[in-house]
Structure 1
Amino acid sequence: MLFKSNKDLIGVDIGSSAVKLVQLRESKGRYHLVTFGMTELPNEVIVDNAIMDSAALADAIRGLVESLKIKTKNVATSVSGHSVIIRKIQLPLMTEDELEASIQWEAEQYIPFEVSEVNLDFHILGPDANDPSVMNVTLVAAKKDMVNDYVAVFNECGLTPVVMDVDCFALENAFESCLGFEDEEVVALINMGASAMNVNILKAGNTVFTRDVQVGGNMVNDEIQKRLGLNSEDSERAKHGEEVEGADSESVQEIVASATESLAQEVQRSLDFFSATSADEKVHKVFITGGVSQTPGVKGMLEKRLGIPVEVFNPFELMGVDSKEFDPEYIQNVGPMFTVGVGLAMRRAGDK
């Protein structure tokens, strides 16, 4: 959203626990998977979406690019968290050029940072249904310090960041390209990562509510570690139902159920807050993605608590994937972890 280019690029999703890379090819109106991969990050490299160890992050990205034999140097990546502000605002009707000229002044009223400290972008949604003299606009502000930190890491790797997006919009991009939206349908897209969840609620394909929740799958692992005295690797295995010494399945299931209940409560809070601030609007369906979406019990827990249909979204299921090059079972298992990366890999010039 903040930088653009018309060249081919790779999508690089930097999370708190791993870096994920996706390269796609578009042919005859359909996306095809060229390559993808993931490398885990050491603890504390990314904390609250901020880069704490740029050298370790650069090493991870460089190693992933080399292992996948990527030749493309242009990158689309994304940011999220406290340093990113997304607001749906109303402004008098004006052209895009007029808003471009006045956006800094308009933004001052809506963001809690100094305008000089942020990169700004916007997307005009169109005239308001109730008052055609005003228009609805999505305003995005990202702190320059954070954006510059990400740019510096890619430059250190010999890569060029040409698109800087926001996680929830990359998620929306992947979903829209793969499934599309029904007229007037209100859906929630929730990316459930290791340390955070990105919530994006859309009506007829337009974002009407976003929220980043700073809890994620690590909560489940932390509880297993704390209560059963396991290390991080064994707690991850136990969470996914593998046999681990010192962790009987009944205890693990009880801990996972308790922790996923807490995650479900956070999702419900987001949906309740949206309903409270949007007259007569209710979410009709929830799509979950990200690594945590496949944790046993998460989907069922959300359906029970929310009382609406919940589906796991795997972007690879809906694009061209050569079964001779990629193991279908592996694609099925890891696909939801790459949704943001897929959305980034779909980005092109002029995207909003």
Structure 2
Amino acid sequence: MIRWKLKKSLPFDVSDVHLDYQPLRQKDNGELSVLVALMAKNVVTQYEDLLLEAGLQPNKIDFSTFNLYRLFSRRLELSESPLYIAFHHGVLSILIFTQGVLDFYRTKEISDVDLDINRIFMEINNSLVFYRDRNPGCEFKEIFCHVSPAREETFATVLREACGIEPVILHPDLVVSSAEPSLGKNDILCDLAAALGAATRNL
């Protein structure tokens, strides 16, 4: 059913992609919301070949955005309806949850070399306007952000402008202990955040 529905809107042959999905919520009228993941089969094959050549056995296909969420999930799940924004290796991710269920998801590639902060603001603001139009009366009580230490102040300012409240900046040292106290907030550990999130899958 999902493949049939997507076939009408995708600009490529749906048979050329791996497809997986996760049911999220069923409304009173029977309508079902699902999160759908697609990845081109030829891209998967390229990664599999590289891993096999390196002597590794491919096991799972995963997404950095969800690994970043997984890293901080225990803290985020303490909030009833959190807004979570991450900017990691040039990808802006916006996730909104309602009572623990993903309600909105968007990612956008944005160059991290000469960061256009106005574009970041517009992407976040437009996403929130779209979400609020679909959910009248929605107000965010808590906003969480993961970004490199060098970008923290800039992103905090953008989120205050876009949302009107002070964001909580999440650092990997919330979940990763280290003998070096400053390691959790430096660029090295932040760069590894998605990999750390993937590693927590087995904890």
Please give the range of the TM-score, normalised by the shorter of the 2 chains.
Answer: 0.7 to 0.9
Q: Deviations over 1:302-337 (max 9, x none)?
A: 213431231211133234x142xxx11122223433
Deviation of 1:215 (Å):
1.4
Q: Does 1:202 align with 2:111?
A: no
Q: Quick check: 283-292 or 267-276, which moved more?
A: 283-292
Change (3 A) 1:260 1:109: same
Aligned to 1:215: 110
Change (3 A) 1:322 1:330: closer
Q: Report 1:232-311 matches (<5 A).
A: 259-291=116-148, 294-311=151-168
Q: Does 1:122 align with 2:21?
A: yes
Q: How many residues align?
A: 201
Q: 1:149 aligned to 42, 46, 53, which one?
A: 46
Q: Deviations over 1:330-352 (max 9, x none)?
A: 2222343333222211235xxxx
Measure, in 2, the Cα distance between the counterparts of 1:121 and 1:273. 26
Which blocks of at least 5 consecutive residues in structure 2 are unaligned? Answer: none
Aligned to 2:69: 172
Q: Report 1:41-52 matches (<5 A).
A: none
> SS at 2:79's partner residue?
coil
Q: TM-score, normalised by structure 1?
A: 0.50
Q: Does 1:347 align with 2:185?
A: no
> SS at 2:86's partner residue?
strand
Q: Deviations over 1:88-124 (max 9, x none)?
A: xxxxxxxxxxxxxx55445435644322111111112
> SS at 2:122's partner residue?
helix
Measure, in 1, the Cα distance between the counterparts of 2:137 and 2:186. 37
Aligned to 1:137: 34
Change (3 A) 1:105 1:203: same
Measure, in 2, the Cα distance between the counterparts of 1:205 and 1:316. 23
Q: Report 1:102-117 matches (<5 A).
A: 103-109=2-8, 111-117=10-16
Deviation of 1:178 (Å):
4.4
Bigger RCO (CA 8 Å, 6+ sep): 1
* Greater C-alpha radius of gyration: 1
Q: 1:188 aligned to 68, 73, 83, which one?
A: 83
Aligned to 1:160: 57
Q: Does 1:338 align with 2:195?
A: no
Which blocks of at least 5 consecutive residues in structure 1 are unaligned? Answer: 1-101, 221-258
Q: Deviations over 1:211-243 (max 9, x none)?
A: 2222143223xxxxxxxxxxxxxxxxxxxxxxx
Q: Does 1:328 align with 2:185?
A: no
Measure, in 2, the Cα distance between the counterparts of 1:219 and 1:163. 33
Q: Which amino acid aligns with 1:120?
A: L
Q: Deviations over 1:116-150 (max 9, x none)?
A: 1111111122421x32x333222222222222222
Change (3 A) 1:290 1:109: same
Deviation of 1:179 (Å):
4.0
Structure with the bigger percentage of helix: 2
Q: Deviations over 1:77-96 (max 9, x none)?
A: xxxxxxxxxxxxxxxxxxxx
